[in-house]
Amino acid sequence: MAQKAIGKVTHYYDHLGVAVIKLGKGASLKKGDKIQVKGHTTDFSQTVGSLQVEHSDIESVKAGDDFGMKVDKKVRVGDELLTAS
């Protein structure tokens, strides 16, 4: 199954383990989706467990949204968020 880039990491809060992600055009994401984070030194998969916008828990995000997501490992600005297409 092919993967496609759906967003990019714009910030990472190391002490919280939270990435801020900008979702790309035509993309959507919801709790329970399987994603992969990939970059120069980053490559891991996880299930989306938490999504937040403006410190409020939400169930899903749509194209163009900036949101926070708890990540299992350290990520870096510019890392891509991928999902199976």
CATH of residue 22 = 2.40.30.10
Q: How many domains does the chain have?
A: 1
User: 41 and 52 in contact (C-beta within 8 Å)?
Assistant: no
pLDDT, position 3:
87
Placement of tokens 């939270």 in the chain? 18
List the domain range (segments joined by +) for residue 73: 3-84
Grade residue 31 by pLDDT with cuts at 50, 70 and 90: very high
Over range 9-18, report the average pLDDT: 97
Token pair of 4 as six digits: 């496609």
